[in-house]
Amino acid sequence: METVACPDCDLLQRIPPLPPGGKARCPRCGETLATEPIDSLDRALALTVTAAIVFIVANTSPLMGLSAVGRQASTTIVGGAYQMWVQGQEVTAVIVAFCAVIAPAGYILFMLTVLLAVRRPPAPHGVGEMLRWAHSMQPWSMSEVMMLGILVALIKIAELATVEPGIGMYAVGGLIVLFAAIMVTFHPREVWKRVKWADGEAPPRTTDSD
């Protein structure tokens, strides 16, 4: 049982273990103090697998069609970054490659590893280390950063040619929605609960409130 102070009225109270889908409310003011998500990890896994498929589509199908001086061409995200590099915009090329390809790929791989590793509890100790590491990497795997990378790519390429959105562009849009859904669904607390410490003890409980 953990002791928490109600964020609304400061009443100190103990929260009993909750059933899946259960909620604990403050007896004095009715503020929700804790929730126990249903199948949080399974849903996060389903979303992450979908994101992996959409990521592959986003990176293999044309991001946009280009037409310049009567010639037609199409490019993928990586192809676009490569073109920028060739044309002397090395810094932009690296930013686009990192934000739009490397960071999201890393995020998907990390989520898949953690979510698959905790399916058979107790989860290996390394999962706890990974979660900690991922926490420091999180600002880089945000979809806003990816969006920024794509936008920079678009603006730079639009300077050179007329741009029409391709399948890859719609896939990127879908990926941004999926990433947001994963972040809402995934509760690291659920993973911590399943991590077995090297000494055989359960990990210390972390409270979200502090």
User: In the structure encoding, which two tokens stand for residue 193, read together?
Assistant: 């609960």
Instruction: Give the count of residues interacting with Zn ion (CB under 5 A).
Output: 8
Distance CA 135, CA 117 (A): 17
Minimum CB–partner distance for residue 2 and Zn ion (Å): 16
Q: Is 32 in the site for Zn ion (CB under 5 A)?
A: no
Minimum CB–partner distance for residue 171 and Zn ion (Å): 45
Minimum CB–partner distance for residue 32 and Zn ion (Å): 10
By C-beta, is 8 or 164 nearer to Zn ion?
8
CA distances, 63 to each of 103, 108, 123 (Å): 18, 20, 39
Distance CA 63, CA 170 (A): 8
By C-beta, is 17 or 30 nearer to Zn ion?
30
Minimum CB–partner distance for residue 6 and Zn ion (Å): 3
By C-beta, is 28 or 119 nearer to Zn ion?
28
CA distances, 80 to each of 22, 40, 100, 189, 203 (Å): 48, 37, 11, 39, 45
Distance CA 34, CA 17 (A): 10
Contacts (CB under 5 A) with Zn ion, residues 9-28: 9, 11, 26, 28
CB atoms inside a 10 Å sphere around CB 41 = 20
By C-beta, is 7 or 20 nearer to Zn ion?
7
Q: Which of 23, 25, 29, 73 binds Zn ion (CB under 5 A)?
A: 29
Q: Is 68 in the site for Zn ion (CB under 5 A)?
A: no
Contacts (CB under 5 A) with Zn ion, residues 149-208: none
CB atoms inside a 10 Å sphere around CB 55 = 22
Minimum CB–partner distance for residue 25 and Zn ion (Å): 8
Q: Is 31 in the site for Zn ion (CB under 5 A)?
A: yes
Minimum CB–partner distance for residue 132 and Zn ion (Å): 32
By C-beta, is 60 or 207 nearer to Zn ion?
207
Contact residues: Zn ion, CB under 5 A: 6, 8-9, 11, 26, 28-29, 31
